[in-house]
């Protein structure tokens, strides 16, 4: 029997696109490649609310990936005045993230995935960091995802610092929103030069950690980002 923990990868969602004009799931291969290279077995997770218990029972760990989709007004601290239904991914992901936290399922959140983890715990977001914060960093740029765009500073004595083995890291960036307010119990483990929050973790949890950048684009080279996936796999084996 192969000792490979099963890592559930939440799929992204499109109502229509180049693949199909009908609703479908999609996710970049780089997420699957990163899990496999780190020693895990990646498995795609669909949005099945009634099957969350079954899905988690078969997963040793989770990855909540990046993605561009609309959050509800409450995510920005604006109250629930919008009568439009929740986006299918957000509706499922917030429940999945909350249950994974409660059951201490090792979880890595990436970009939007990190934001949903934080929202689930009571955080709110800036809608557009470029307009709402004084910053010279273009957090949503057109550079290839394989290229770094700015530096992040890793907080000492955090799980992220231990995992990466570095005080600073050059990262890519592809986000418009950013964390604004966050509840007690959430540790901010990384920030950019402009003080934008770039990482979070929950103390005492085996592995419930999120980063704002996209580490999956750097796993084909000798790069500390690979440590994130390897740490998730180690936690999933416990």
pLDDT value at position 1? 43
In this prediction the pTM is 0.95
Which range of residues forms the domain containing residue 163?
Answer: 6-237
Q: Do the bridges between strand 107-110 and strand 61-64 make them parallel or antiparallel, or are there none, so unpaired?
A: parallel
Residue 80: pLDDT band by 50, 70, 90 thresholds? low
Q: What gap in Å lies between CA 81 and CA 174, rounded to an integer? A: 28
- For residue 76, the 8-state DSSP code is G
Residue 108 lies in a domain: yes
Residue 231 lies in a domain: yes
Q: What gap in Å lies between CA 109 and CA 9, rounded to an integer? A: 10
Q: What gap in Å lies between CA 33 and CA 150, rounded to an integer? A: 25
Residue 16 lies in a domain: yes
Residue 41 lies in a domain: yes
Domain count, the chain: 1
- The answer for residues whose C-beta is within 8 angstroms of residue 157's C-beta and 6 or more apart is none
CATH number at residue 125: 3.40.50.880
**What are the φ and ψ backbone dihedral angles of 211, each rounded to 5 degrees?**
-130, 150
User: What are 45-76's pLDDT values in tens digits?
Assistant: 999 999 999 999 999 999 999 998 999 999 99
Residue 114 lies in a domain: yes
Neighbours of 213 (CB within 10 A): 29
Radius of gyration of the chain (CA): 17
- The answer for residues whose C-beta is within 8 angstroms of residue 77's C-beta and 6 or more apart is 124, 180, 181
Residue 1 lies in a domain: no
Residue 17: pLDDT band by 50, 70, 90 thresholds? confident
Neighbours of 231 (CB within 10 A): 20
């Amino acid at each position: 029997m192969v000792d490979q923990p099963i890592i559930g990868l939440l799929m992204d969602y499109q109502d229509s696109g180049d693949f199909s004009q009908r609703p479908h799931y999609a996710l970049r291969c780089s997420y699957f490649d990163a899990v496999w290279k780190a020693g895990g077995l990646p498995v795609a997770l669909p949005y099945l609310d009634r099957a969350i218990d079954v899905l988690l029972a078969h997963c040793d760990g989770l990855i909540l990936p990046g993605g561009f989709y609309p959050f509800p007004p409450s995510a920005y601290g604006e109250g629930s005045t919008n009568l439009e239904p929740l986006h299918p991914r957000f509706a499922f992901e917030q429940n999945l993230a909350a249950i994974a936290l409660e059951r201490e399922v090792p979880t890595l959140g990436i970009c939007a995935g990190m934001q949903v983890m934080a929202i689930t715990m009571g955080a709110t977001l800036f809608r557009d960091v470029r307009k709402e914060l004084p910053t010279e960093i273009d957090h949503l740029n057109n550079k290839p995802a394989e290229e770094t765009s700015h530096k992040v500073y890793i907080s000492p004595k955090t799980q992220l610092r231990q995992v990466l083995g570095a005080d600073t890291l050059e990262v890519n960036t592809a986000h418009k929103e950013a964390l604004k307010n966050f509840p007690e119990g959430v540790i901010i483990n990384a920030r950019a030069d402009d003080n934008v929050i770039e990482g979070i973790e929950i103390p005492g949890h085996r592995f419930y950690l999120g980063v704002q950048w996209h580490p999956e684009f750097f796993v084909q080279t000798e790069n500390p980002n690979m440590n994130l996936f390897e740490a998730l796999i180690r936690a999933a084996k416990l």
